[in-house]
């Protein structure tokens, strides 16, 4: 089965460090989503891209977060500088078409900022 | 305000029993409603997607219903198995076409005991 692949699986780092999370969408999927999940907030949409162009990043703190899609097989989410409140599980999902289409999720990057 | 509320927050049942999870929403304009299953440490997996005109959809032992008039959905699990232990997330899509916005519920955590 085709799958969304996320790396790293787990990341522990100190406050102030840069964190980069990577996502390989399912081949042929042209829309990529980044989500954050915490116990308190549940799942939140941070940003999404279609055909590598950012369409909506309204859920993302602009001062420290950035999302890019350098090519069709790689999406990245960066946090710089990281803060303890960024500790969460970050999910990437991909789809063919927009947010109304079925999304396939990766297994997430569990991020802990000390 | 667009909102999705799920109940109960958590549920414990015995293996072999049936259960029903609830989802109430105030989302406009409504596009579709999805139920996801999320195993511990994994990404969400889609169970069902229903549009406005659909009032029931099944996926194996999972049956989702939708009442667009009362803005309620339920997920019924028949003959539960230990592997059904997971979080179940209701997601409503607002908008249309490729510009929809996803509204997430907080999830119901189901534990199936032997």
pLDDT digits (tens, 9 = 90+) for A53-94: 888 888 888 899 999 998 989 999 999 999 999 999 999 999
Instruction: Please tell me the distance from the alpha carbon of residue A74 to that of residue A71, in angstroms, as a whole number.
Output: 6
Contact at CB, B43 and A100, closer than 8 angstroms = no
Q: Which residue from A108, A67, A35 is spatially nearest to B102, judged by alpha carbons?
A: A35
Minimum-distance CB partner of B93 among A93, A99, A108: A99
**A89 Cα to chain B: minimum distance (Å):** 9
pLDDT at residue A102 is higher than 90: no
Which distant-in-sequence residues (6+ apart) come within 8 Å of A33 by Cβ?
A: A45, A47, A48, A92, A93, A94, A95, A99, A103
Q: Average pLDDT for residues B42-60, to the nearest whole number? A: 93
Which pLDDT tens digit goes with each residue over B24-46? Answer: 999 888 889 999 999 999 999 99
Minimum-distance CB partner of B43 among A99, A102, A108: A108
pLDDT for res A98: 73
Higher pLDDT, B73 or A1: B73
Contact at CB, A45 and B107, closer than 8 angstroms = no
What percentage of chain A exceeds 70 in pLDDT? Answer: 98
**Residue A91 · residue A6 · CB < 8 Å:** yes
């Amino acid at each position: 089965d085709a799958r969304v692949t996320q790396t790293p699986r787990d990341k522990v780092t100190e406050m102030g460090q840069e964190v980069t999370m990577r996502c390989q969408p399912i081949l042929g999927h042209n829309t990529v989503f980044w989500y954050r999940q915490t116990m308190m907030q549940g799942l939140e949409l941070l940003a999404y891209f279609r055909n590598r162009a950012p369409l909506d990043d309204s859920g993302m703190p602009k001062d420290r977060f950035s999302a890019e899609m350098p090519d069709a097989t790689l999406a990245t989410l960066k946090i710089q500088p990281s803060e303890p409140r960024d500790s969460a599980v970050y999910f990437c999902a991909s789809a063919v078409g927009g947010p109304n289409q079925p999304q396939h999720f990766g297994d997430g990057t569990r991020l802990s900022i000390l | 305000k667009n909102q999705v509320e799920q109940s109960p927050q958590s549920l414990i049942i015995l293996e072999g029993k049936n259960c029903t999870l609830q989802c109430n929403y105030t989302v406009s304009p409504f596009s579709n409603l999805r139920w996801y299953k999320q195993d511990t440490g994994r990404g969400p997996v889609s169970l069902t997607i229903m549009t406005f005109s659909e009032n029931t959809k099944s996926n194996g032992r999972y049956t989702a219903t939708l009442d667009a008039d009362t803005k309620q959905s339920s997920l019924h699990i028949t003959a539960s198995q230990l592997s059904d232990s997971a979080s179940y997330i209701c997601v409503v899509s607002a908008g249309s076409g490729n510009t929809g916005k996803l509204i997430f519920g907080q999830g119901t955590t189901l534990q199936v005991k032997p």
